[in-house]
Chains A and B, each alone.
Chain A
Amino acid sequence: MRTHIYSLCLFSAFLAMTISACNKSVTNVNSNLGPLNPANEDLNAGTWKLILLSRPDTFAVAAPAATNTPAYAADLNTIKGYQHNLTSDQRAQIKYWSAGSVLRWNETMRGLVAKYNLPPYQLSNGTYPIPSSTNPFAYPLFPFANPPYSARAYAYVSAAQYDALVACWHYKTLYNRPAPYTVDSTVQALAAKSSLPSYPSEGAVLAGVTAEMMQLLFPDEIASIRDKLEQAEFSLIASGAAAPSDVTAGEALGRQVADAFIARGRSDKAGSAVGNATIWASFVTTAQANGQTPWVSLETPARPPMLPLFGQVKGFLLDSADVVALRPGPPPSTNSDSMKQQVQQAMNTVKNATRDQLSLVQFWADGAGTWTPAGHWNYIAAQDFITQNWSEVRWARNMALLNMAEMDAAIECWYIKYYYFNPRPTQMDPIIRTLTGIPNFPSYVSGHSMFSAAAATILGHIMPSRAQAYQAMAQDAANSRIYAGIHFNVDCEVGMTVGQNVGNYAVQRAMSDGAE
């Protein structure tokens, strides 16, 4: 019996030691932000340089009802009605959107990209189905949000948001109608209070322009995007920041601006970037004619190369002559000693990868099922922008500069990759195993290096105090691809340089758009 008592005591002590707290729920890092409270309302933003629209008043916005009219009184009553009976869910929505609409819509984009960034599964005959925008709900779902597709998607949404907000600011200062909480002191300000005119509502402009763009880029999400828009607009009104008429006018303006960008998108050549079997074969014969080993897919069954004609897509910052002019010289010939050295270096690096290097490989992998490199930099930027208390229009401007640089980096990079059609280290020597999945497109130059250098360049201009940190991160991202065994040194060195050159186009625009 004594044995049992002794055993029981020891057993209980051990049990108590091993059982710990059980709350395991995980929250997003930006789930608990305070309201955006801009230090500067950027009241002159209606004069900033537009990206696509020719004038800020290209789309007319009718003059609003005066604040002493019965129509506006009805608006105020709607707000008071909402505020009278807010549920905890509704308060949470107000808090969520009050952190900033550009921030939240960019977050939403990153989530959509991650959700749709999956390569289709092969058919039983060993070929791969191609997602179709005309049948988006059938497998494979449309789109496959791979890095070039996503870079372009982020850029279109951000560029449209920026132009829409410049137009919005134009009308805000033109009509100068104050916010509901300023007109009527019984309306509570449940987000931050500001002196910015509220007609048309910037939050509603963003909801309208973004929803319109998103349902084109991610057609399967039409229902979830509509829900998101309705929550955003409810929050704007219920927070006391916007009257229903501010929101109606804003959403309509946003949708019209989006339509202009959609028209551009339909003719920017992205729709034909996938190519066809004849085009795919022509890359092989061209490389062979130049005495080079052509790239081959390292997947089984072999997958056609990713978006080989993406280099022809019409950029926002680069025109087609710039794309050609920025092309670097060729990589070492595939049968040169110099290439043998690159292969040997790649092999040694993978073999001797340290845990810190593995961490960098994972941190920067941004492969299938993730937000892609452009999304990663979008997140890095957002985390720093949050600390700056910018107006929504400045947020949109800076995100557009970044995202346009990323799209044009993708265009330039894809142009170079298919111009040289150069093999990956593992193709040159199958002994080289990789520490992340191997991308299904040519090696030279490294996409991660280009995306990262372009991003670091424009972000360093926007936030000079962080410029060095961004450069160091870009170098890490580039190196991570060497550690992973999926790139040669030369791919990353040259990629960094070309990426910086693309980033400088964004810097040039930033210095001349009237916002600095």
Chain B
Amino acid sequence: MKKRTFLITFRMLAVVALILTSRQLQAQTDDDALMMAKNNLCVGGTYSHSSWNYYWEGTYHRNNQNLGTVTTKMVSLMGIYGINRHLAVVAGAPYIWTDASSGVLHGMHGVQDLSGWLKWQPIEQRIGANSKFSLFALVGGSVPLTNYLADYLPLSIGLHSRTASGRVIADYQLGHFFMTGVGTYTWRSNITIDEQSYYTTSFYETNQVQMPNTTSWLFRTGYRTNRWIVEGLLSDMITLGGFDIRKNDMPFPSNRMNALMAGAHVKYEFHSKPLKGLSLTADGNYTITGRNVGQATTIDAGIFYIFDFAHKAKTGETPTLKTR
């Protein structure tokens, strides 16, 4: 029977807002080469604003007038505590708002995932008079704090997977210049969605979705003193498996989401009263290329304060350059 059809979009097309999970704790925390002093607690918050109007549907770069510009705003709270000079814990959680400027879809908002890291610095070695090599090992994990919708991309606030990660950071400092390399492997738990079936590259009748694991790489380099950090970043997130969004389909939590991003980070730490212990951060980030993600531009600003519970003021001493 000759049958031609016209088409609807039941659910408007779209894509993942941005790589929420990999960058949400970025200020000076789980992926830099800084350590806290013993019994110091750093608490702070960041506000970030991320938006895109182009995205990759698989490898196809497109926009979507039924979404317009997709914006994600995020307020993150985090804390870092130095157990000793070589071991710290990091924890944080964001509140996220999503919105699409065009089309009919309703945005979402809510508390996303609690992330935690244990950061250990097993090697800190001076090389000659003016340079130093450090190695860090981290384990971390995240759990959703609320029962938010995962299968509502690109406007869901996260993927609702539990994660466990291992990370290695290598850092070389020469005078005030440094280079840091970061490698991460993240295991992601399967998720349960509200639907009873879905299609990836084949048809599933279950509410369980297999989530592919991810790796990410980050390279950062720049200028670092006890007051200033000014650096450039290049990061690459790679999903190990997953599938491409089909032409004009909706995105799905188990898509192969890849993103190569470039950015910059600036931090200033006050060292004299009355602002001693306070630091301010600013970041910018741009997605150069990706797959099944939005081409996001992100800016954020943060404010942090260090409480010294050890009561041993180390004036003018940045945690970065401490040596034994």
Contact = CB atoms under 8 A, between A and B. Distances in A.
Nearest to B107: A433
Contacts of A110: 197, 203, 205
A84 interface: no
Contacts of B210: 24-26
Given A110-B197, A300-B66, A265 B103 contact: no
- 6 nearest interchain CB pairs? A367-B10, A437-B11, A111-B203, A440-B8, A119-B7, A362-B194
Interface of A: 3-4, 6-8, 10-11, 14-15, 18-20, 22, 24-30, 107, 110-111, 114-115, 118-121, 128, 130-134, 139-140, 142-144, 146, 149, 216, 262, 265-266, 268, 270-271, 273-274, 298-301, 303-307, 350, 355, 358-359, 362-363, 365-371, 376, 379, 426, 432-441, 485
B206 A131 contact: no
Contacts, number: 224
Contact of A300 (B87, B103, B195): B103
B194 A7 contact: no
B72 to A, nearest CB: 16
B8 A28 contact: no
A274 B195 contact: no
Interface stretch (B244-252, B285-293, B314-322): B244-252
Interface stretch (B147-155, B168-176, B257-265, B294-302): B147-155
Interface in B35-50: none
A299 B195 contact: no
7 contacts: A8-B122, A10-B87, A146-B8, A271-B4, A273-B5, A379-B197, A379-B205
Contacts of A18: 139-141, 164-165
Contacts of B12: 299, 437-438
Interface string B164-195: 11100000000000000000000101100111
Interface in B232-262: 246-250
Contact of A149 (B3, B198, B199, B246): B3
B196 A438 contact: no
B65 interface: yes
B208 to A, nearest CB: 5
B160 to A, nearest CB: 12
A20 B66 CA distance: 41
B309 interface: no
Contacts of A268: 1
B140 A363 contact: no
Contact of A367 (B4, B11, B122, B246): B11
B8 A439 contact: yes
From B84, B141, B166, B194, residue with most partner A Cβ within 10 Å: B194
Contact of A437 (B85, B105, B196): B105
Interface of B: 1-12, 65-66, 83-87, 102-107, 118, 120, 122, 137, 139-141, 147, 149, 151-152, 164-166, 187, 189-190, 193-199, 202-206, 208-211, 246-250
A131 B8 CA distance: 13
Contacts of A273: 3, 5
Contact of A144 (B6, B11, B193): B6
Given A10-B120, A19-B187, 15 more contacts: A3-B84, A20-B189, A119-B9, A121-B247, A139-B247, A143-B3, A149-B5, A300-B102, A306-B5, A306-B7, A307-B5, A363-B194, A367-B11, A438-B10, A440-B6
B164 to A, nearest CB: 4
A261 B84 CA distance: 78
B4 A24 contact: no
Residue among A24, A111, A130 with most chain B CB within 10 A: A24
Nearest to B212: A24
B139 A15 contact: yes
Given A118-B247, A362-B149, A19 B164 contact: yes
Contacts of A271: 1-4
**Secondary structure call for the A interface:** loop
Given A14-B118, A118-B246, A365 B11 contact: yes
B206 A363 contact: no
Nearest to A153: B3
A362 B205 contact: no
A436 B248 CA distance: 16
A370 B195 contact: yes
Given A265-B1, A438-B104, A299 B193 contact: no
B3 A133 contact: yes
Contacts of B246: 118, 369
B190 A24 contact: yes
A363 B140 CA distance: 33
A392 to B, nearest CB: 21
B166 A305 contact: no
Nearest to A16: B139
B85 A274 contact: no
Contacts of A307: 5-6
Contacts of B193: 362
A295 B7 CA distance: 16
B225 to A, nearest CB: 26
B47 to A, nearest CB: 24
B11 A368 contact: yes
Contacts of A439: 8, 10
A368 B6 contact: no
A298 B195 contact: no
Given A11-B137, A146-B5, A114 B152 contact: no
B87 A7 contact: yes
Contact of A358 (B104, B149, B203): B149
A432 to B, nearest CB: 8
A143 B205 contact: no
Given A24-B210, A115-B199, A434-B104, A266 B2 contact: yes
A149 B194 CA distance: 25
Contacts of B8: 119, 146, 299, 303, 306, 368, 439-441
B148 to A, nearest CB: 8
